[in-house]
């Protein structure tokens, strides 16, 4: 009798172009390498990923499917394919991991076509679960699992974060057998062949609006600078990577590790980008920031969130960040020629619509202050979308104002909720349509005056033209009906990095 213990690892489509190395499922592949045979299917590389998955299932050798699922575009393909597989191949075991199932376990498991959720890192949980199912052993004591038992959601205890240097290396060569690895090294603002890499997991802070918090619970664990350098050098030497996007939630937690890595990577002449907190990096010495820039770090993403200290407290931003510091730090980075990429969240809950509008107006004016001290600052604008960090004061406010998530998995892939996942149209009862219009119109004008540097298709002539068209509106606060700017942006296919990446 043929064993059906092989594993399909699926990365649902998340990008129209410039897709990245599927690091999350590569981690799972590394965890079962040598124990169970596996195949990777990347929805970004397949015209028909369902057919590709079925080609494996039809062999009768594959019994397990692992999906990585982020909110937004990935969710649509994940739901449609998971449902179709469970109907056609009911004997298979469906295992989901990623931010969406970890934060929305009830709606996922109630669907009846997902059997288990890996709640956080799966380096131990995934292989242990397969072992238990294969050998008909109990899985109740495996950490980082969520599943249904007797109709009730069961969450096992969280596992301590593992020493990241002790984990097996990612099987890049084997990925290259499924898809030429060079396909994942796309042209971006950073370089001709940009690779994606995770050097750490988690974050040591507890922001109540962040989806990372319920999963990692203010924990952070990183690979050493030497291990990170070794991995990146391997990709560079074998496939020609010349730039790096660090997709860590918080790359710059440790000043020493950041500097050590910078010193190692500098001779490779690679350009790179990562994410950080303003109050953390503002403590870095000038000499450290100088080393980081000289190593090739061109741009750093910061969750500024708000220039209003009361809003920062409402968000439970933690740390010591203030509105004054946000402006001062943007100005400080000018001397090192590091571009700060600041994201702001507009439309947090308030007692009255007038207070919500006042907060939006405050943030618009604050963003203009940031631009005044450092025009190169990239601005990313989101509207507030609730994350179920249960017990947080902000989440209580959200519930009190009548917000509710979809009750079925299929509802999550409606156009309105897909926009919600991208934090562009939040469907929250306290944000009125006219408020959304003001946010989006200001964003249009702002992007006209200061087009993102990450849009590599936008030449100097186009940048000067759209800036000339937008400047009067920006200076006089005339944001309504910016149709002429929208027309140019649409015609030139203006790129928004928060939606489309670099």
3-state class of 302 per DSSP? strand
Residue 204 pLDDT: 86
pLDDT, average across residues 2-13: 92
Residue 387 pLDDT: 63
CA gap 42, 12 in Å, rounded: 6
Query: Tokens 């989901």 — which residue?
Result: 96
Residue 106 pLDDT: 92
Going by C-beta distance under 8 Å and a sequence separation of 6 or more, which residues neighbour residue 449?
A: 467, 470, 471, 474
Is 179-400 the same fold as 6-155? no
3-state class of 371 per DSSP? helix
8 A C-beta contact, residue 381 and residue 426: no
8 A C-beta contact, residue 317 and residue 326: no
CA gap 57, 6 in Å, rounded: 10
Residue 502 pLDDT: 46
In tens, the pLDDT along 301-349 reads 999 999 999 999 888 777 789 999 999 999 999 999 999 999 999 998 8
Residue 56 pLDDT: 98
In tens, the pLDDT along 240-274 reads 999 999 999 999 999 999 999 999 999 999 999 99
Residue 400 pLDDT: 76
pLDDT range class, residue 487, cuts 50, 70, 90: very high
pLDDT range class, residue 392, cuts 50, 70, 90: low
Ordered by start, the domain boundaries in the chain are 6-155, 179-400
In tens, the pLDDT along 51-68 reads 999 999 999 999 999 999
Exposed / middle / buried, residue 56 (Cβ in 10 Å: 0-12, 13-18, 19+):
middle
Going by C-beta distance under 8 Å and a sequence separation of 6 or more, which residues neighbour residue 299?
A: 189, 190, 273, 338, 339, 340, 341, 378, 453, 454
CA gap 327, 342 in Å, rounded: 10
Chain Cα centroid distance, residue 287: 30
Residue 142 pLDDT: 98
DSSP 156: P
In the predicted model, is pLDDT for residue 300 greater than 80?
Answer: yes
CA gap 351, 430 in Å, rounded: 9
For the ranges 118-132, 367-381, 404-418, which has the lowest average pLDDT? Answer: 404-418
Tell me which H or E stretch contains 297.
strand 297-305
Residue 492 pLDDT: 86
Buried (b) or exposed (e) across 81-98, using 16+ Cβ within 10 A? bbbebbeebeebbbbbbb
For the range 230-239, what are the long-range contacts, defined as Cβ-Cβ under 8 Å and sequence gap of 24 or more?
Answer: 231/169, 231/170, 231/197, 232/195, 232/197, 232/265, 232/268, 232/270, 233/268, 234/172, 235/172, 235/181, 235/185, 235/195, 235/197, 236/268, 236/270, 238/172, 238/181, 239/176, 239/181, 239/182, 239/185, 239/193
CA gap 104, 86 in Å, rounded: 20
Fold for the domain defined by 6-155: Rossmann fold (3.40.50)
Torsion of CA 196, 197, 200, 203, to 10 degrees: 0
In angstroms, what is the C-alpha Rg of the chain?
23
State the CATH class of domain 179-400. Answer: alpha beta
Query: Tokens 């968000």 — which residue?
Result: 315
Token pair, residue 446, equals: 């702002």
pLDDT, average across residues 387-401: 63
pLDDT, average across residues 172-190: 95
8 A C-beta contact, residue 341 and residue 300: yes
Exposed / middle / buried, residue 183 (Cβ in 10 Å: 0-12, 13-18, 19+):
middle
Average pLDDT over the chain, rounded to an integer: 91
pLDDT range class, residue 379, cuts 50, 70, 90: very high
CA gap 158, 119 in Å, rounded: 8
Query: Tokens 């000018």 — which residue?
Result: 334
**Residue 113's closest CA among 92, 133, 134?**
92
Going by C-beta distance under 8 Å and a sequence separation of 6 or more, which residues neighbour residue 409?
A: 79, 107, 108, 110, 111
pLDDT, average across residues 9-27: 90
In the predicted model, is pLDDT for residue 187 greater than 50?
Answer: yes
In the predicted model, is pLDDT for residue 211 greater than 80?
Answer: no
How many Cβ atoms sit within 10 Å of the Cβ of residue 434? 10
In the predicted model, is pLDDT for residue 70 greater than 50?
Answer: yes
């Amino acid at each position: 009798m043929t064993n059906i213990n092989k594993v399909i690892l699926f990365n649902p489509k998340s990008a129209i172009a410039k897709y990245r190395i599927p690091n999350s499922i590569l981690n799972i592949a590394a965890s079962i390498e040598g124990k169970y045979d596996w195949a990777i299917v990347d929805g970004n590389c397949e015209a028909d990923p369902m057919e590709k998955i079925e080609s494996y299932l039809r062999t009768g050798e594959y019994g397990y499917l692992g999906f990585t699922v982020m909110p937004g575009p990935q969710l649509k393909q994940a739901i449609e394919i998971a449902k179709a597989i469970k109907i056609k191949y009911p004997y298979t075991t469906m295992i989901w991991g990623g931010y969406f199932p970890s934060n929305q376990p009830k709606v996922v498991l109630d669907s009846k076509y997902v059997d288990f959720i890996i709640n956080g890192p799966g380096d131990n949980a995934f292989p242990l679960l397969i072992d238990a199912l294969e050998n008909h052993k109990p899985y109740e004591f495996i950490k980082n699992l969520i599943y249904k038992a007797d109709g009730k959601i069961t969450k096992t205890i969280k596992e301590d974060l593992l020493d990241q240097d002790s984990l097996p290396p990612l099987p890049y060569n084997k990925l290259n057998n499924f898809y030429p690895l060079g396909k994942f090294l796309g042209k971006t603002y950073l370089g001709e062949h940009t690779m994606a890499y995770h050097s750490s997991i988690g974050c040591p802070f507890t922001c109540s609006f962040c989806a990372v918090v319920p999963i990692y619970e203010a924990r952070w664990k990183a690979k050493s600078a030497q291990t990170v350098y070794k991995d990146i050098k391997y990709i560079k030497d074998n496939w020609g990577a010349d730039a790096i996007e660090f997709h860590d939630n918080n790359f710059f937690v440790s000043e020493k590790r950041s500097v050590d890595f910078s010193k190692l990577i500098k001779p490779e002449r690679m350009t790179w980008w990562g994410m950080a907190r303003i109050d953390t990096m503002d403590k870095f010495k000038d000499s450290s920031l100088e080393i980081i820039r000289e190593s090739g770090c061109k741009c750093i993403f910061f969750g500024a969130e708000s220039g209003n200290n009361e809003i920062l407290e409402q968000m439970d931003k933690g740390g010591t960040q203030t509105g004054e510091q946000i402006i001062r730090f943007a100005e400080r980075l000018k001397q090192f020629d590091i571009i700060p990429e600041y994201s702001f969240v507009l439309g947090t809950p308030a007692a009255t619509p007038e207070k919500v509008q006042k907060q939006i107006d405050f943030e618009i004016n604050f963003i203009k202050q940031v631009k005044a001290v450092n025009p190169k600052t990239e601005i990313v604008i989101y509207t507030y979308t609730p994350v179920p960090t249960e017990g947080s004061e902000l989440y209580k406010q959200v519930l009190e104002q009548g917000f509710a998530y979809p009750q079925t998995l299929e509802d999550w892939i409606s156009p309105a909720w897909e926009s919600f996942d991208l934090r562009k149209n939040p469907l929250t009862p306290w944000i009125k349509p006219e408020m959304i219009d003001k946010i989006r119109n200001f964003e249009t004008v702002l992007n006209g005056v200061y087009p993102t540097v990450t849009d590599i298709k936008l030449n100097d002539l186009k940048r000067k033209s759209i800036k000339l068209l937008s400047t009067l509106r920006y200076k006089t606060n005339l944001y309504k009906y910016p149709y002429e700017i929208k027309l140019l942006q649409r015609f030139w296919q203006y790129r928004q990095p928060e939606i489309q990446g670099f």
